[in-house]
Structure 1
């Protein structure tokens, strides 16, 4: 999990709030891709004790996630364009 997302979830827990995607996103100090936020909140909800183990794990590189999400968006656009061309 990204350290920034980890900090946001930790801040919510310190406030006594249950982390949700929206609350976590509102606590972020920088732009993080939504899939990273969703994965982090899901991981926390599935195993609340995992938040303590996250500090020990190496951080994921946000750049790799940004690149893959950008690639996914480009592929989706290409698929839509191809579908439009096939219909004509």
Structure 2
């Protein structure tokens, strides 16, 4: 997540909690240390357009954590093969019908 996006998100969270977003409150919630000027600029941008948190997109997506719902490559290939097997059979049937 970009630092600007994080600042916007924190400001929006604070506003949702009925707190006035301030530089100090934002700095306290940041996941990384940022220069004061960057936090001030981000807060000012958010104050000028509070919906910026909704419209801005993070620069870097966080990778998904592997869990029981994550499929391995072999499982995906197997599922694909199962899905296309009937299609292959249909193609062969149609080829035979044409011939």
Task: With the length of structure 1 as denominator, give the TM-score of the two structures.
Answer: 0.51
Partner of 1:12: 14
1:1-88 map, 5 Å? 2-45=4-47, 47=48, 50-57=49-56
Gaps of 5+ in 2: 60-99
Runs of 4+ in 1 over 3 A off after TM superposition: 57-60
Higher helix share: 1
Q: Please state how far the C-alpha of 1:59 moved relative to its aligned partner.
A: 5.6
Query: Could you tell me whether the CA contact under 8 Å between 1:4 and 1:30 is conserved in 2?
Result: no
Q: Please state how far the C-alpha of 1:12 moved relative to its aligned partner.
A: 0.7
1:55 aligned counterpart, secondary structure: helix
What is the number of residues matched between the two proteins?
A: 58
**1:10-65 deviation per Cα after TM superposition (whole angstroms, max 9, x unaligned):** 111111101111111111122122111011222334x2xx12134324668xxxxx
Q: Distance in 1 between matches of 2:40 and 2:28?
A: 13
Q: Distance in 2 between matches of 1:37 and 1:24?
A: 8
Who wins on radius of gyration, i.e. which is larger? 2
C-alpha change, 1:53 and 1:4, in structure 2 (3 Å) is closer
- Over aligned residue pairs, what C-alpha RMSD do you find? 2.3
